[in-house]
């Protein structure tokens, strides 16, 4: 699964760089976050005790999250692609008026994601790592994503 994920990640980054319209940028951005969400959908139920811990699945999802975190997401946030500009997104316009804080939150996500592969080996190490990663997501959503 890792090779297709990496290929898709590079495709998303390339499509964002060559996006011809705001809609293309939003679709690339949403695709990136869908990939992150799919990996969290594997890890979160394990960390919450809603699913049995599976070390192999946890490691794969953690590795995928770490790989995704290496993508520079700034090209995915083209000005004029907020919820105020178009219906297809939940991105608040505050992203562009406070880009420094937004990128600080993105850096926190990248740092937490980079820790995931080392944390995936046991439930005891996975739980706090998933909590930290989820907290970075929530922090950004609370500030920059419309409900």
The long-range contacts involving 17-22, CB below 8 angstroms and separated by at least 24 positions, are: 17/75, 19/75, 19/78, 22/78, 22/80, 22/81, 22/85, 22/86
| 73-114 tens-digit pLDDT | 889 999 999 999 998 999 999 999 999 999 999 999 999 999
Grouping H, G, I as helix, E, B as strand and the rest as coil, residue 91 is strand
Domains and CATH numbers, the chain: 2-144 (1.20.120.10)
- Residue whose pair of structure tokens reads 């980054």 in the numeric block: 13
pTM for the model stands at: 0.84
Per-residue pLDDT tens digits of the chain, which is 147 residues long: 555 555 555 555 555 455 578 999 999 999 999 999 999 999 999 999 999 999 999 999 999 999 999 998 889 999 999 999 998 999 999 999 999 999 999 999 999 999 999 999 999 999 999 999 999 999 999 999 998
6 touches 67 (CB < 8 A):
yes
What gap in Å lies between CA 111 and CA 113, rounded to an integer?
5
What gap in Å lies between CA 90 and CA 138, rounded to an integer?
14
């Amino acid at each position: 699964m890792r090779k297709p994920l990496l290929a898709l990640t590079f495709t998303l980054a390339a499509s964002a760089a060559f996006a011809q319209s705001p809609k293309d940028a939003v679709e690339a951005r949403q695709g990136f976050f869908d990939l992150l969400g799919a990996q969290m959908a594997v890890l979160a139920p394990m960390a919450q005790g809603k699913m049995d811990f599976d070390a192999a699945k946890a490691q794969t999802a953690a590795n995928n999250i770490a790989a995704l975190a290496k993508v520079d997401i700034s090209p995915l946030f083209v000005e004029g692609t907020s919820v105020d500009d178009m219906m297809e997104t939940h991105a608040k316009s505050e992203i562009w008026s406070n880009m420094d804080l937004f990128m600080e939150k993105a850096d926190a996500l990248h740092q937490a994601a980079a820790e995931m592969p080392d944390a995936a080996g046991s439930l005891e190490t996975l739980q706090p790592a998933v909590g930290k990663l989820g907290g970075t997501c929530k922090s950004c959503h609370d500030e920059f994503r419309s409900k």
